[in-house]
Amino acid sequence: MSGSQKDMFDHIQSSTDMKPDDLLSIVDSLGDADLSNDETVRNLVRNLSEMANQPISKEKEDTLVDTITNNNVPSDFSSLSKLFENN
């Protein structure tokens, strides 16, 4: 694991109750999931919110779903983390 990946996982673990293994398990479970499907992505966002014990507003959920289904996910961690700010 590279330094930036470790930093990202350390940040996730320090700000949520999720362990890196939990997050990797979720990523692995996505497999062939259709991330252009609104319902699939909405369920994923809700599940992650529950697992992380981080409530998410309807507005933030809608923003995340729209961003993911339209394939507008930022490639750098700084921009990505801004999507999750201000639940």
Per-residue pLDDT, averaged over 12-37, amounts to 76
User: Domains in the chain: how many in total?
Assistant: 1
Contact 64, 83 (CB under 8 A): yes
- Give the whole-angstrom CA distance, residue 36 versus residue 1: 28
Residue ranges making up the domain that contains 77: 3-84
Residue 17 has pLDDT above 90, yes or no: no
Q: What is the pLDDT of residue 23?
A: 73
User: Which residue type does 30 have?
Assistant: L
Q: What is the pLDDT of residues 33-82, one digit of tens each?
A: 888 899 998 988 898 888 878 888 999 999 989 988 998 876 666 666 67
Q: What is the pLDDT of residue 65?
A: 92
Predicted structure pTM score: 0.67
